Amino acid sequence: MTPHIAAQPGQIAPTVLMPGDPLRAEWAAQTFLDNPECVNRVRGMLGYTGTYKGHPVTIHGSGMGMPSLSIYANELITQYGAKTLIRIGSCGAMQESVGIRDVILAMTASSLSTPSRGIFKELNFAPCADYGLLRAAADVAAGRGVTHHVGGIYSSDVFYDERPDLTEQMTRHGILGVEMEAAELYNLAARHGVRALAVLTVSDHLITHEALPASERERSFGDMVEIALEAAFS
C-alpha cells in the first residue's frame, strides 16, 4: 500500500492504462477486461485489475493535471512494479487536419513546465513516447481503420488557457492537440526505464470550436482503449 493506492502486493498488473477520470477507468475496466476487480478507492481514485485476452491489466485513474498524474505514476512504478503505462484520455485538436473523434498518438509532449522541472533545472528535456508502443499503436489503429495522427502534443498546466499567442505558435509548429498529463508521464517513464505512451481521442477543436456530443463519447473512446490494449501486447 502507498499513501494514495490501497492495492495489495500483486494486485497491480505490469501494464497499466491511465485515464484521468476515475469513472472512465471503471467504465473501461468493466467494458474491456475480463473479471475486473476494484483494487483501489482511496480519495475516489478508482483502479481495477483484470485480464485482456489472458494478459493482466490494471486500469487506474490519474486525476487531472501533471501533479496528480505524477503521484499515481510514481507509486505505480516504484511501489507496484508497473512497466508499461499508457495514458488514455481526451484532448483538444490544434490543427485543421485533425478531426473530432480522431485518435492522436503522442510522439512527443511539449510543456511550459512539469513537476520534473526542479530536477532538470536549466535543461529543456524533450520527453517522448516509447517507440515500440508508438509503432504498435499506429499499426493497430491503421488495421482497424481508425483515423489517427502521430506527432507532438502540448501538455498544459491549465484548463482555462488565456494565451492565444502561445496557441498560435504551437499550431504554427505542428502541435496536434492539447491535454494536461502526458509530458510528465513521459518524464517519469524515461527516469525509471519503463514504457509510456499517450493515446488520445479528440473531443473538441480549438480552431473550429466543434465538440464531441456526450452521447457519442463512449463509442469514440472505445477505439482509443482498444488501441492501447492491443499495442501493449503486440
Q: Running along the chain, 234 residues long, what does each successive block of 10 average in pLDDT? A: 94 98 95 98 97 98 97 98 98 97 97 94 95 98 97 95 91 98 98 98 95 75 96 96
Identify the CATH number of the domain in which residue 131 sits.
Answer: 3.40.50.1580
Q: 204 catalytic, yes or no? A: yes
The pLDDT value given to residue 202: 97
The answer to whether residue 6 is domain-embedded is no
Instruction: Flag whether 43 is marked binding.
Output: yes
The answer to whether residue 65 is domain-embedded is yes
Catalytic residue among 157, 165, 204, 223: 204
Residue type, 173: H
The pLDDT value given to residue 162: 86
Instruction: Flag whether 119 is marked binding.
Output: no
Domains identified in the chain, total number: 1
- Each residue of 17-53: b (16+ CB within 10 Å) or e? bbbbbbebbbbbbeebbeebeebbeeeebbbbbbebe
The answer to whether residue 4 is domain-embedded is no
Distance from the first to the final alpha carbon of the chain: 30
201/224 Cα distance (integer angstroms): 6
Task: Name the pairing type of β-strands 103-111 and 148-155.
Answer: parallel
The pLDDT value given to residue 133: 98
The pLDDT value given to residue 171: 96
Task: Using the structure block, give the residue that is written with the C-alpha cell 514504457.
Answer: 195
Instruction: Flag whether 110 is marked binding.
Output: no
The answer to whether residue 176 is domain-embedded is yes
Nearest alpha carbon to residue 180 among 112, 227, 94:
112
3-state helix, strand, coil in the chain (%, to 5): 35, 30, 35
The pLDDT value given to residue 22: 95
pTM for this model (two decimals): 0.96
Domain membership of residue 165 as a residue range:
15-232
The pLDDT value given to residue 1: 84
